[in-house]
Amino acid sequence: MTKGSINVSVENIFPLIKKFLYSDHEIFLRELVSNATDATMKLKHLTNIGEAKVDYGDPKIEIKVDKEGKKLHIIDQGLGMTKEEVEKYINEVAFSGAEEFLDQYKDKVEDAGIIGHFGLGFYSAFMVADKVEIITKSFKDDPAAHWTCDGSPEFTLEEADKTERGTEIILHIAEDSTEFLEDSRINELLTKYNKFMPIPIKFGMKTETLPKPDDAKEDDPAPTQEVDNIINNPNPAWTKQPTDLEDDDYKNFYRELYPMQFEEPLFNIHLNVDYPFNLTGILYFPKMTNDLNVQKDRIQLYQNQVFVTDNVEGIVPEFLTMLKGVIDSPDIPLNVSRSYLQADGAVKKISSYITRKVADKLKSLFNNNRGDFEKKWDDIKIVIEYGMLSEEKFFEKADAFALYPTVDGNFYTYQELYDKIKANQTDKDDKLVILYASNKDEQHSYIEAAKAKGYEVLLLDSPIVSHLLQKLETTKEKISFARVDADHVDNLIKKDDSKISKLSDEEKTKLDELLKDVIPSEKFSVQLETMDSDAAPFMITQPEFMRRMKE
Ligand code: ADP
Ligand code: MG
């Protein structure tokens, strides 16, 4: 047996590790399962290139809780380690990794936004365990090794009699961390962090119902069998090629990702790029609802199929954080603060790539099936309008598909709207006026009056649209927007001959006289020009200033 002392400058880094990011203790399991996955993938690679002459087989990773013995086991069938490799990789590499990590970040805990998601690696085990054992057998011929460390820099290393290839990590769970001896807690963590990891992860057994044999009687119970309870899907949709996926595959994956979300997504965007950075993922446009789950079901960030965070602020442009789905990229630095992240060149490129893909998708949906796009407009407009306001590139691209609906249910692009109004407002060479309403019922009479005069009236009712109109007024030439009930609209509205009342002057005078007696002119004004429109025979309106006085 070897006894040794790990060579560290900090006398005892374990209390530090323990204190570090107290709330993030749970990541130890993600780190250990990641190591088990890495070890398995490395073996796969070595057998593929012929360096490891062993049968790769059908390896899995197993997690076992031993509640009585207060132990948690993480067992893999990966490449394993020889005694020398334990010395090197655990005592030196893992340790110096942890030390370096602490050196760099121990003073920045308050900036932990994303740092907290950066693992300490193997040594994060000491956040929850007061003793850790490694029993490992390399794929090479060397005997197995057994390493034990109780949280001080002292360790023991001896030979072991393990014969199957792979590594078993045994955590002796500390008194203050017994939550990690509960099946439900481990299940929760595995589901959170490892749901899509590439090697099957077994946690206990489950009962599977088999089909009844042909000769079974009506009320014979269906036969059952005990099978491994595999908690992950090793081949999630985003790791596949878009050409290999049907619409239903995307919908099913959405359900897998958000089991508590019953609303179907409107459409999805498959991200897949490997140069100049590596990124895959699937984004979904959800139906915008007031559902509380919307807040919870956020875009999830993965690195090589390991869950990192569902706070993608700084990585995805803000207007797209309303979307759902996953992005997976090894190129997003996680050991840095948010503010650094936003300034990082790679992250900037990723952010603008995502923006471009979303714009391209919207454009192709619009081009391929405009009717359907119009139907979805109400559900997606917030994201698009917000994007147009906040991202210049998106604003430019959105010109092709951003829609301006009218009170009559027509949808125009900006260009269509412009052409239409230009053709109508022949008397206005200087500036075209685009009328809009924000509430069809409240502004009904104004809308009807404007329509009667040949005006198209937009119905713009989203909360941020007024900002967007301002932006359009400053970027587009020679247009201005006016709300249909604004004071000055009367002056702007062109007198269109075809819409002028068919009443004779004599009839009008009579009607005027009649109305004067019943309607106080200082409070209301009477318009007769709408006589032949769909509106009432004449219109009584209350001037803007009168309405303000009431308030
Ligand atoms: P990292 O995974 O970033 O290399 P870790 O601290 O998590 O850092 O692990 C240190 C090293 O210990 C790994 O690089 C690997 O060589 C070795 N190791 C850890 N766990 C295992 C395992 N289950 N099987 C084989 N080697 C392992
Ligand atoms: Mg690791």
Q: For residues 379 and 287, is the Cβ–Cβ distance under 8 A?
A: yes
What is the C-alpha separation between 40 and 56, in angstroms, rounded? 9
Residue nearest to atom 19 of ligand 1 (CA): 35
- pLDDT at residue 40, as a whole number: 95
Q: Among candidates 410, 484, 418, 416, which has minimal Cα distance to 451? A: 484
* Strands 166-173, 71-75: pairing kind: antiparallel
CA-based angle 127:131:135, to the nearest 5? 115
What is the C-alpha separation between 471 and 469, in angstroms, rounded? 5
Q: Among candidates 37, 82, 90, 24, which has minimal Cα distance to 63? A: 37
- SS3 of residue 263 by DSSP: coil
> Does ligand 1 lie within 6 Å of residue 414's CB atom?
no
What is the C-alpha separation between 30 and 306, in angstroms, rounded? 8
Q: Which atom of ligand 1 is nearest to the CA of 120?
A: 6
- pLDDT at residue 174, as a whole number: 94
Which of the listed residues 17, 27, 38 should we mutate to test ligand 1's pocket, taking the one with most ligand atoms within 8 A of CB?
Answer: 38
Q: Among candidates 281, 197, 205, which has minimal Cα distance to 232? A: 197
What is the C-alpha separation between 16 and 100, in angstroms, rounded? 12
Tell me how far the alpha carbon of residue 29 lies from the centroid of ligand 2, in angstroms.
11
Question: Of the ligands numbered here, which is closest to the C-alpha atom of 34?
Answer: 2
Question: Of the ligands numbered here, which is closest to the C-alpha atom of 94?
Answer: 1
> Does ligand 1 lie within 6 Å of residue 78's CB atom?
yes
What is the C-alpha separation between 266 and 383, in angstroms, rounded? 13
Q: Which atom of ligand 1 is nearest to the CA of 98?
A: 6
How would DSSP label each residue in 266-300? SEEEEEEE-SSS-EEEEEEEPPP---THHHHS--E
Question: Of the ligands numbered here, which is closest to the C-alpha atom of 125?
Answer: 1
- pLDDT at residue 537, as a whole number: 60
Tell me how far the alpha carbon of residue 175 lies from the centroid of ligand 1, in angstroms.
26
What is the C-alpha separation between 462 and 387, in angstroms, rounded? 14
Tell me how far the alpha carbon of residue 122 lies from the centroid of ligand 1, in angstroms.
6
Tell me how far the alpha carbon of residue 37 lies from the centroid of ligand 1, in angstroms.
10
Determine the straight-line distance between the first and last CA of the chain, rounded to whole angstroms: 88
Residue nearest to atom 3 of ligand 1 (CA): 121
The DSSP secondary-structure symbol of 314 reads T
Tell me how far the alpha carbon of residue 30 lies from the centroid of ligand 2, in angstroms.
9
Which of the listed residues 35, 45, 199, 306 should we mutate to test ligand 1's pocket, taking the one with most ligand atoms within 8 A of CB?
Answer: 35
What is the C-alpha separation between 368 and 285, in angstroms, rounded? 17
How would DSSP label each residue in 448-475? HHHHHTT--EEE--STTHHHHHHHHHHH
Tell me how far the alpha carbon of residue 310 lies from the centroid of ligand 1, in angstroms.
25
What is the C-alpha separation between 91 and 8, in angstroms, rounded? 10
Tell me how far the alpha carbon of residue 135 lies from the centroid of ligand 1, in angstroms.
13
> Does ligand 1 lie within 6 Å of residue 39's CB atom?
yes
Tell me how far the alpha carbon of residue 94 lies from the centroid of ligand 2, in angstroms.
8
> Does ligand 1 lie within 6 Å of residue 335's CB atom?
no
Q: Which atom of ligand 1 is nearest to the CA of 93?
A: 10
Q: Among candidates 89, 81, 73, which has minimal Cα distance to 29? A: 73
Q: Which atom of ligand 1 is nearest to the CA of 169?
A: 23
> Does ligand 1 lie within 6 Å of residue 121's CB atom?
yes
Q: Could you check whether the bond before residue 276 is cis, i.e. omega within 30 degrees of 0?
A: yes
What is the C-alpha separation between 239 and 198, in angstroms, rounded? 10
Tell me how far the alpha carbon of residue 58 lies from the centroid of ligand 1, in angstroms.
21
Residue nearest to atom 17 of ligand 1 (CA): 89
- 522-530 long-range contacts, Cβ below 8 Å, gap at least 24? 527/449, 528/501, 528/503, 529/449, 529/452, 529/453, 529/495, 529/499, 529/500, 529/501, 530/448, 530/449, 530/452, 530/499, 530/501
Residue nearest to atom 11 of ligand 1 (CA): 89
Place of tokens 């950066």: 118
Q: For residues 492 and 485, is the Cβ–Cβ distance under 8 A?
A: no
Question: Of the ligands numbered here, which is closest to the C-alpha atom of 73?
Answer: 1
What is the C-alpha separation between 226 and 208, in angstroms, rounded? 6
**194: which residues sit within 8 A by CB, 6+ positions away?**
29, 30, 33, 201, 231, 232, 306, 307
Cβ neighbours, 10 Å, residue 260: 8
What is the C-alpha separation between 76 and 33, in angstroms, rounded? 9
Tell me how far the alpha carbon of residue 79 lies from the centroid of ligand 2, in angstroms.
14
How far is it between the farthest Cα atoms of the chain? 118
> Does ligand 1 lie within 6 Å of residue 35's CB atom?
yes
How would DSSP label each residue in 171-214? EEE-GGGGGGG-HHHHHHHHHHHHTT-SS-EEEEEEEEEPPPPT
Tell me how far the alpha carbon of residue 27 lies from the centroid of ligand 2, in angstroms.
11
Joined tokens for residue 81? 């380690």
Tell me how far the alpha carbon of residue 254 lies from the centroid of ligand 2, in angstroms.
29
Q: How far is CA 429 from CA 20, 417, 432, 496, in A?
A: 68, 16, 7, 16
Q: Which atom of ligand 1 is nearest to the CA of 90?
A: 12
Residue nearest to atom 12 of ligand 1 (CA): 89
Tens digit of pLDDT at every position of the chain (551 positions): 778 776 665 455 666 666 655 557 888 999 999 999 999 999 999 999 898 999 999 999 999 999 999 999 999 999 999 999 999 888 887 776 666 666 665 565 444 444 445 557 888 898 899 999 999 999 999 999 999 998 777 899 999 999 999 999 999 999 999 999 999 999 999 999 999 999 999 999 999 999 888 888 888 888 999 999 999 999 999 999 999 999 999 999 999 999 888 889 999 999 999 988 999 999 999 987 655 555 678 999 999 898 988 888 888 999 999 899 999 998 887 666 667 777 788 888 999 999 999 999 999 999 999 999 999 999 999 899 999 999 999 999 999 999 999 999 999 999 999 988 888 776 656 778 899 999 888 899 889 888 887 788 999 988 888 899 999 999 987 888 988 888 666 665 554 444 445 566 677 777 777 777 777 666 666 666 554 445 456 666 655 544 544 43
Tell me how far the alpha carbon of residue 39 lies from the centroid of ligand 1, in angstroms.
8
Residue nearest to atom 8 of ligand 1 (CA): 121
What is the C-alpha separation between 37 and 59, in angstroms, rounded? 10
What is the C-alpha separation between 326 and 299, in angstroms, rounded? 5
> Does ligand 1 lie within 6 Å of residue 81's CB atom?
yes
Q: For residues 119 and 94, is the Cβ–Cβ distance under 8 A?
A: no
